[in-house]
Amino acid sequence: AQPTQAAQGGTGTGTNNTSSLSSIPQNAAAGGITITNPVQTADASYYKIASGISVTFGWNFTSIVAGHSPSSLTIQAVNTAQKNTIPIATIAGAATQVVWSPWDYQQSAGARNLPQLAQATYRLQIFDEKGPDAATNQAGVFNANQAVQFALYIPAAYTPLSAGWTCAGCKNAGELLKSYTPLLLGSAAATAICLASGAGLLRR
């Protein structure tokens, strides 16, 4: 299954070239997007690599001068630890979200000669036709965004009791209780002796 997209009204004009930059006011702010799903200021979100589970990345455009909208957006995830780049989608420049299935990607990655997903942290990159290494903080035009990190994990398979599943934590708790039992009994006995002695003194 291919990633799906949702677009805002209008289409990108793709006029982000040097000659057209003269039409941008000198005091214009740097353009780009603010990622809203997941919130780009939050801690990394965790997503399962599992059948039927999709991930939605959403954003809002900010400070892009009219006539300088991107023609296309490329979304990818970078695993810096393994130095892998995972392509997610290339979509229309006016789109405001993409829905991606890590499971579907994983099933077809080998046939498409793409890197497999790993249980790791990824950095989301969204850039336009200028590429991921274009100059940053350009006034009035789209600037690449890589403010969001997310993590992927593979859920553990279910193991029924009949197949020999044991609760390691329960066993450890039982052994801990056994080690404390003599101490608890000794404390209880000492408390009882003290109470009995006190009662005897009161009767005198």
Residues of the chain with pLDDT under 70: 1-22, 165, 168-204
| Long-range contacts of residues 176-185, Cβ cutoff 8 Å, at least 24 apart | none
Distance CA 52, CA 85 (A): 23
124 to 45, 57, 64: CA distances (angstroms): 11, 9, 21
The reported pLDDT for the residue numbered 204 is 52
d(CA 41, CA 43): 7
Q: Do 154 and 102 contact (CB within 8 A), yes or no?
A: no
Beta bridge mates, 61: 33
Q: Which residues contact 139 (CB under 8 A, 6 or more apart)?
A: 24, 25, 26, 27, 28, 29, 30, 31
- 57 contacts 124 by C-beta, under 8 angstroms: yes
What's the pLDDT score for residue 160? 76
In angstroms, the CA 115 to CA 138 distance is 32
pLDDT tens sequence across 116-172:
999 999 999 999 999 999 988 899 999 999 999 999 999 987 777 777 767 766 666
Computed from CA positions of residues 114, 116, 120, 126, in that sequence, does the dihedral angle turn out positive or negative?
Answer: positive
